[in-house]
Amino acid sequence: MGDRGDRVRGRVGLLARHCQGEGLSARDPGLLRQVLGIIAPLAGTVLVMAVALRLLNGVPAFVENLVAGPPPPQNALDERLSYPSIEAAEKELGVKVALPSYFPSYLMWPPSSVRGQKQPARVVSILFQSSTGQQGLQIREIFWQGYDLPFPVPEPLDVVQRADVDVDGVAGQLLAGSGQDSMPVNQLRWHFGGIHYILTTIYPPDELLKIARSMR
């Protein structure tokens, strides 16, 4: 490209000197044809190189997209459903809900709400009121074989402690924090038999562990 450019510039210089010697005007038709004959090949070369560079710049992105494939779909949460009872939730979702055999007297039966969802995983969430009218215990069961949850589940606010605990022979994690009203909140998480269990309560950790270890 450098040699060819030098040759073109040389030809243009010779033509310019010839024009000056002959007294030709820049508007002369013959002169214009000669100039165009010199410039056209150079312009064509520049255009081809520009297109080639443009294509080369696009190759890496195209190859990257081809190898990476489309982005993975996000796990969208399904509509939350409400049920009149635990039995109704089990029938609708086709699951068997585990319940604690140890049920403290400070919790009210039946549950104040039973909710669920079908996608991206079947979920049953059961809320029990305390005898003082507070939300005393929430049992959330997520039917999902994977070790990691298919979607994030909120932890207590301002978690001050995380402890590894034993839940009836299964490794679990106990989180100590607070609720929106700054009341102490404890949460216990473990995974067993294709189900993620998440229990949250306003009562002490030892009570939460007793409830969890009695889940059947």
Model confidence pLDDT, tens digit, residues 115-132: 999 999 999 999 999 999
Q: Are residues 102 and 56 in the same domain?
A: no
Q: Are residues 11 and 60 in the same domain?
A: yes
User: Please, is 200 exposed, middle or buried when counting C-beta atoms within 10 Å of its C-beta (0-12, 13-18, 19+)?
Assistant: buried
Examine residue 48 and state whether it is found in any structural domain, yes or no. yes
Q: Are residues 90 and 178 in the same domain?
A: yes
Examine residue 129 and state whether it is found in any structural domain, yes or no. yes
Q: Which residues, including other chains, have CB under 8 Å from residue 66's CB and lie 6 or more apart?
A: none
- The rounded Cα 170 to chain-centroid distance in angstroms is 29
**How far apart are alpha carbons 125 and 146 in whole angstroms?**
19
Query: Are 131 and 96 within 8 A, CB to CB?
Result: no
- 188 phi/psi in degrees, rounded to 5: -125, 135
Which tens digit of pLDDT belongs to each residue from 128-175? 999 999 999 999 999 999 999 999 999 999 999 999 999 999 999 999
Examine residue 76 and state whether it is found in any structural domain, yes or no. no
- Token code pair at residue 51: 């297109």
Domain of residue 196: give its range: 81-213
- In the predicted model, is pLDDT for residue 58 greater than 50? no
Q: Are residues 61 and 86 in the same domain?
A: no
Q: What sign results for the dihedral spanned by CA atoms 25, 31, 35, 38? A: negative
Given pLDDT bands bounded at 50, 70 and 90, which one contains residue 1?
A: low
Which of 68, 103, 126 finishes a domain? 68
Query: Are 195 and 143 within 8 A, CB to CB?
Result: yes
Q: Are residues 96 and 36 in the same domain?
A: no
- State the total domains in the chain: 2
Examine residue 204 and state whether it is found in any structural domain, yes or no. yes
**How far apart are alpha carbons 2 and 8 in whole angstroms?**
10
